[in-house]
Structures are given as C-alpha cells and as structure tokens.
Structure 1
Amino acid sequence: MKVVTVCGMGFGTSLMLLMDVQAIGKKHGYDIQGEAVDLGSAKGKECDFMVASGEIASELDGESVEVVAINNLLDKEEIERKVMPVIERVAKGVK
C-alpha cells in the first residue's frame, strides 16, 4: 500500500512521519511504500491514505483518500493508534 505524508516544506516533518508509518506497518506485518511531500504537491497524489499534522490535514479536506491528522508528531503511540486502523482497512480493501 502507499501512503503520502505531508508537511509544509516536503521534508523534515513529512519524512519523519513517513519513517514512523513505515516502521509501524512493518511491526504489524504490512509493507508500506510512501512519499514525503509538501502541501502543494500532495493534492491529487495517488495513494491509499495520507498522514499529516492536524494543521496541514485540515488543508487536505476534499482529497479522495482518508487523511489521518496527527496532533503530536513526536508521539509514536498516537501515530500508531490513528494509523493502524486505516492500514487495516486499506489492507482489507475497505474504504
């Protein structure tokens, strides 16, 4: 499956989120490919879901995929708690 992680500039925060999401997926037996991008590049990207900070996620309303909003980007438990249900739905083919 493919995730797009989004931040204001397209590196730093989004790259950190991508690595966290991939590690969480691997921990649970899922292979997650991904791309870290800036907000402008994220719109219309082909992916299974997106992950972004709460502020950035609100800018992604209207995307055709689910956008997971993370409040504390340093809280790996929050990321896992919010991302795993989405990964499992995507893996089952449920939107």
Structure 2
Amino acid sequence: MKRNLLLSMVGYGAVLGASLLTRHAAREAYRKTAGAAPPEHPGRRDTRWREALAWGVASGALVGVARVVGQRLGDEAERRRRSRVRRALARRDD
C-alpha cells in the first residue's frame, strides 16, 4: 500500500474519531449546562428557538475547536516527519 494512501486512511480515521468524540462532548456539555438532553431535531416546530440556538452554539463551538486542534496537530506531525526525513538524509550524505 502506498504511504500517501495509508496516511490518508489514517487521517480520515482520526477525523471520524474526533467527530464522534466532539459530538459526544457537545451533547454532554449541553446536558450539564442546560440540565436537559439536547434537542434531537433542532429544526422541528416543537423545539423552542432558545433550545435550538443554544444547541447550535454549543455544538458549533466544539466542532470549530476540534477542527482547529486537528489541523494544528496534523500540521505539527507533518512538520516533525519532514524534519526527521531531512536529518536522516543529511546523516546518510555525511
């Protein structure tokens, strides 16, 4: 299997895992702050605007933070990998 394909598969798996963890964290945060379960379907007419907007803010903020953290960690891991490759090539040339 090509290395790039393997890295892509690992990356997609990490994104999937992070999204599941973020969804769970958003539900728990809403449950603790609002004292109730988040609305199952915020767009339905039987959901109050206040509940729908609170859920939107809570879940959106956590998803945004997860995306930024994931991008930063991914970029840092790639930078470290490139640095190791450069050092290994420099040692080989010496």
TM-score, normalisation: structure 1? 0.29
Point out which structure has higher relative CO (alpha carbons under 8 A, 6+ apart): 1
**Bigger Rg over Cα:** 2
Q: Whose helix proportion is higher, 1 or 2?
A: 2
Q: Whose strand proportion is higher, 1 or 2?
A: 1
